[in-house]
């Protein structure tokens, strides 16, 4: 039996075991959590919409960052075989075919989840539990103003939002509404009860943690990230898989401090593994346009600097494939290939990985709006990935899951039909670009000349429409 077949057999066994407890039982509801400390939202797992953590609950127990009453009720429902409505992502998959395996099964099979099966099965669902997988954002400090990001995730976008209000073509929340809905983030120098609760909870929380990922904002601009790294130097966690996201567009001194810390932590084996997740969506000026604030050449220098100095770490390019990723993606892939080949671990495996989820929201910046004239670019890049999967020396550069994820984008695009909805989003695209360039005080042609024809086509749809 191949490894893949064996893995599949194990996952099916987990499905049977889960269903014996109840057909809606899922370990992720107990032990996987993402907490947005900048405004006090939480969700388990990452699929359900985050909900607000009541400060009244937090004042009694800092673990309410994870164990809110709302989550305990969802766990109770799962134990009884009822389906929490917030988990619709999985119910849709399971209802499509009885043999389908949803994330309920995949996540419950993970090494951070499955060993806790019996403990969770026998636990009172209303009792608090510590997560083994925690993702946290300490704040929204960020120096980038990416086209698809939000004010409560980036302080730079928030400043723009304060000045200009929400984008007029799509509406959205103004400052007052952000405040009323509880989404408005705490400021950098403001007392934040959610961050305070995190550090109060930490001495108990860290005993059970297997995976810890720090996101943002830009985590390296938040002092809590460095506070955590300092803490780690004195209190090693040798069973922990640690990951940090970064745009790597930070000041040189901050980057060097980060590199020095991670070098010390990995060389002294203070954690089990370290992964740096870093975002860039395509090559050169197109990348600088959509991730506004990025300096592409400096970014690639910083990537090399990290890989050169920190030898026992992996780097994952998070490429949120969007409307501007397509035309020059081949040049970006050439750089990724070169890096993959240059930075190998002591087993001869590459330390550089590529992840290509495609942008879904906002739809008007997604590849959804492109038409078939763009397919040849993606087909060519897919062929490139396949051709370069294995070097003549036998080094695996692109794994099946990396190629498969990219191929999914092409298959998805080819399966779309033309509709009024797509044209509607093309019109929104044209209007968004006009407002985006005005806010950034830039000319579209200076960044994306190869997309000018497409933009004009979208503008013409808009003028036909009015
Ligand atoms: S049932 Fe699905 S959506 Fe709900 S927590 Fe589990 S994996 Fe996440």
pLDDT in tens, 57-93: 999 999 999 999 999 999 999 999 999 999 999 999 9
Q: What is the pLDDT of residues 269-309, one digit of tens each?
A: 999 999 999 999 999 999 999 999 999 999 999 999 999 99
From the list 389, 305, 317, 312, the residue with the least C-alpha distance to 344 is: 312
Q: What is the pLDDT of residues 16-38, one digit of tens each?
A: 999 999 999 999 999 999 999 99
418, two tokens: 């033309």
From the list 108, 100, 99, the residue with the least C-alpha distance to 44 is: 108
Residue 149 pLDDT greater than 90, yes or no: yes
- For a substitution probing ligand 1, which of 23, 27, 48 has the most ligand atoms within 8 Å of its CB? 48
Tell me the mean pLDDT in the region 167-183.
84
Residue 1 pLDDT greater than 70, yes or no: no
- How far apart are alpha carbons 233 and 270 in whole angstroms? 7
pLDDT of residue 279: 96
pLDDT of residue 169: 78
Give, using CA atoms, the residue closest to atom 8 of ligand 1.
45
Q: Residues 307, 339: contact at Cβ < 8 Å?
A: yes
Q: Flag the least confident range among 95-99, 242-246, 366-370.
A: 95-99
Q: What is the pLDDT of residues 370-416, one digit of tens each?
A: 999 999 999 999 999 999 999 999 999 999 999 999 999 999 999 99
Tell me the mean pLDDT in the region 236-253.
98
Sign of CA dihedral 87, 93, 97, 102: negative
User: Percentage of residues in the chain with pLDDT exceeding 90?
Assistant: 91
Q: What is the pLDDT of residues 100-136, one digit of tens each?
A: 999 999 999 999 999 999 999 999 999 999 999 999 9
For 162-189, the DSSP string reads: HHH-S-TTT----HHHHHHTT-PPPPTT
CATH number of 155-414: 3.80.30.10
Q: Which residues line ligand 1 (CB under 6 A)?
A: 26, 28-29, 44-45, 47-48, 87, 89-90, 103-104, 107
270 φ/ψ angles, rounded to the nearest 5 degrees: -80, -15
Tell me the mean pLDDT in the region 137-143.
97
- How far apart are alpha carbons 152 and 137 in whole angstroms? 11
From the list 210, 9, 13, the residue with the least C-alpha distance to 113 is: 210
Atom number in ligand 1 closest to CA 48: 3
Region of residue 313 (left: phi > 0; alpha: psi -120 to 50; beta: else): beta
Partnered with residue 243 across adjacent β-strands are: 213, 275
Give, using CA atoms, the residue closest to atom 3 of ligand 1.
87
Ligand 1 centroid–CA 225 distance in Å is 28
pLDDT of residue 452: 98
Ligand 1 centroid–CA 47 distance in Å is 7
Q: Where in the chain is the domain with CATH 3.80.30.10?
A: 155-414
For 406-450, the DSSP string reads: HHHHHHHHHT----HHHHHHHHHHHHHHHHHHHHHT--HHHH-GG
Q: Convert 274-287 into a string of H (helix), E (strand) and C (coil).
A: EEEEEECCCCHHHH
From the list 124, 100, 129, 119, the residue with the least C-alpha distance to 32 is: 129
Ligand 1 centroid–CA 72 distance in Å is 14
Q: What is the pLDDT of residues 3-18, one digit of tens each?
A: 667 878 899 999 999 9
Atom number in ligand 1 closest to CA 32: 5
* Predicted model pTM: 0.94
- How far apart are alpha carbons 414 and 45 in whole angstroms? 30
Tell me the mean pLDDT in the region 161-169.
88
Contacts of 398 (CB under 8 A, 6+ apart): 340, 354, 385, 386, 388, 389
User: Percentage of residues in the chain with pLDDT exceeding 70?
Assistant: 99
- For a substitution probing ligand 1, which of 22, 25, 45 has the most ligand atoms within 8 Å of its CB? 45
Give, using CA atoms, the residue closest to atom 1 of ligand 1.
104
Ligand 1 centroid–CA 368 distance in Å is 26
Residue 170 pLDDT greater than 90, yes or no: no
Contacts of 283 (CB under 8 A, 6+ apart): 296, 328, 329, 330, 331, 332, 335
Confidence of residue 466 (pLDDT cuts 50, 70, 90): low
pLDDT of residue 152: 87
pLDDT of residue 214: 98
Ligand 1 centroid–CA 48 distance in Å is 7
Contacts of 119 (CB under 8 A, 6+ apart): none
Atom number in ligand 1 closest to CA 26: 6
Q: What is the pLDDT of residues 308-347, one digit of tens each?
A: 999 999 999 999 999 999 999 999 999 999 999 999 999 9
Average pLDDT, the chain: 95
- How far apart are alpha carbons 437 and 77 in whole angstroms? 48
76, two tokens: 């109770």
Contacts of 141 (CB under 8 A, 6+ apart): 155, 188, 216, 217, 218, 221, 222
Give, using CA atoms, the residue closest to atom 7 of ligand 1.
104
From the list 91, 69, 76, 67, the residue with the least C-alpha distance to 21 is: 76
Atom number in ligand 1 closest to CA 89: 3
- For a substitution probing ligand 1, which of 19, 21, 22, 26 has the most ligand atoms within 8 Å of its CB? 26
Ligand 1 centroid–CA 28 distance in Å is 6
Residue 167's Cβ-count burial label (10 Å; 0-12, 13-18, 19+) is middle
pLDDT of residue 157: 93
Give, using CA atoms, the residue closest to atom 4 of ligand 1.
87
pLDDT of residue 199: 98
């Amino acid at each position: 039996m191949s490894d893949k077949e064996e893995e599949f057999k194990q996952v099916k066994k987990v499905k049977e075991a889960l269903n014996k407890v109840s057909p809606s039982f899922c370990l992720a509801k107990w032990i996987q959590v993402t907490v947005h400390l900048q405004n006090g939202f939480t969700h388990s797992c990452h699929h359900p919409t985050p909900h607000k953590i009541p400060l009244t609950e937090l004042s009694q127990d800092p673990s309410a960052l994870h164990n809110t009453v709302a989550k305990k009720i969802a766990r109770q429902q799962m134990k009884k075989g009822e389906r929490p409505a917030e988990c619709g992502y999985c119910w849709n998959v399971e209802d499509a075919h009885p043999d389908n395996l949803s994330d309920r099964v995949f996540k419950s099979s993970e090494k951070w989840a499955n060993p806790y099966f019996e403990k969770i099965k026998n636990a009172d669902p209303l009792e608090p539990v510590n997560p083994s997988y925690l993702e946290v954002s300490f704040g929204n400090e960020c120096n980038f103003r990416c086209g698809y990001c939000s004010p409560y995730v980036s302080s730079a976008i928030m400043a723009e939002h304060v000045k200009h209000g929400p984008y007029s073509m799509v509406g959205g929340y103004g400052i007052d509404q952000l405040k009323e809905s509880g989404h408005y983030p705490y400021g950098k120098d403001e007392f934040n009860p959610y961050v305070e609760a995190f550090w109060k909870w930490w001495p108990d929380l860290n005993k059970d943690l297997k995976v810890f990922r720090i996101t943002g904002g830009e985590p390296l601009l938040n002092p809590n990230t460095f506070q955590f790294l300092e803490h780690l130097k004195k209190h090693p966690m040798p069973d922990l898989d640690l990951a940090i996201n970064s745009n790597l567009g930070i000041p040189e001194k901050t980057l060097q401090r980060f590199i020095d810390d991670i070098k010390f932590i990995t060389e002294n084996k203070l954690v089990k593994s370290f992964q740096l997740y870093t975002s860039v969506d395509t090559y050169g000026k197109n990348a600088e346009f959509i991730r506004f604030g990025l300096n592409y050449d400096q970014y690639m220098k910083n990537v090399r600097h990290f890989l050169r100095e920190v030898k026992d770490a992996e780097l994952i390019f998070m490429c949120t494939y969007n409307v501007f990723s397509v035309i020059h993606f081949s040049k970006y892939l050439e750089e990724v290939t070169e890096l993959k080949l240059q930075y190998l671990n002591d087993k001869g495996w590459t330390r550089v990985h590529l992840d290509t989820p495609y942008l879904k929201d906002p739809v008007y910046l997604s590849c959804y709006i492109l038409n078939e004239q763009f397919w040849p670019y993606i087909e060519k890049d897919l062929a490139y990935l396949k051709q370069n999967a294995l070097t003549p020396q036998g080094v695996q550069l692109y794994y099946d899951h990396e190629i498969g994820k990219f191929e999914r984008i092409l298959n998805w695009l080819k399966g779309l039909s033309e509709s009024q909805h797509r044209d509607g989003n093309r019109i929104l695209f044209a209007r968004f670009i006009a407002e985006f360039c005005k806010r950034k005080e830039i000319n579209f042609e200076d960044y994306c000349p190869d997309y000018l024809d497409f933009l004009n086509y979208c503008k013409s749809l808009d003028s036909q429409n009015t």
